[in-house]
């Protein structure tokens, strides 16, 4: 912990040295970087039994709908027919977390992905439920914005 938030040393790509925390700038995610973020996590996901053979970002319907295709299956990030432009950053951040957690659960992993901060400061972190509970219990030592949350808590 540093400056009242969970942190570790980062490499040049802003990935933590322990390979648990990754950059997830919500603006970049909403503009088509969900697949890039997933590919950056490929090694830890593989360790947890999740195989990402093919990952492709796709915009359809005149850029109103954004999907990430994983292993040939589409996963909706957002659809502007259902949400407003002002909501796409948060929705992309939330959906990244939900999609990864779906894959982790299907693989039988005990790890889950949690969001930290959001917006241009967004990060995601892999934690077990026990690790997350401990951090929440110690929440009074964190700046509230830096407490790891689930994708469902972001709604």
Q: What is the pLDDT of residues 83-107, one digit of tens each?
A: 999 999 999 999 999 999 999 999 9
pTM above 0.85, yes or no: yes
Q: What is the pLDDT of residues 20-59, one digit of tens each?
A: 888 899 999 999 999 999 999 999 999 999 999 999 999 9
Provide the pLDDT for residue 14: 64
Residue 142 has pLDDT above 70, yes or no: no
Residue 17 has pLDDT above 50, yes or no: yes
Residue 3 has pLDDT above 70, yes or no: no
Provide the pLDDT for residue 1: 46
Distance of CA 26 to the CA centre of its chain: 9
């Amino acid at each position: 912990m540093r400056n009242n938030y969970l942190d570790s040393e980062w490499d040049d790509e802003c990935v933590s040295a322990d390979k648990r925390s990754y950059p997830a700038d919500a603006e970049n995610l909403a503009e088509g970087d969900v697949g890039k973020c997933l590919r950056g996590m490929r090694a830890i996901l593989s360790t947890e039994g999740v195989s990402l053979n093919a990952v492709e970002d796709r915009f359809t319907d005149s850029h109103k709908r954004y999907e990430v295709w994983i292993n040939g299956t589409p996963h909706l990030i957002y659809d502007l027919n259902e949400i407003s432009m002002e909501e796409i950053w948060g929705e992309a951040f939330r959906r990244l977390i939900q999609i990864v957690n779906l894959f982790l659960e299907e693989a039988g992993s005990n790890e889950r992905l949690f969001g930290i901060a959001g917006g241009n400061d967004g990060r995601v972190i892999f934690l077990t439920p026990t690790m997350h509970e401990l951090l929440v219990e110690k929440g009074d030592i964190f700046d509230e914005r830096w407490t790891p949350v689930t994708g469902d808590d972001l709604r």
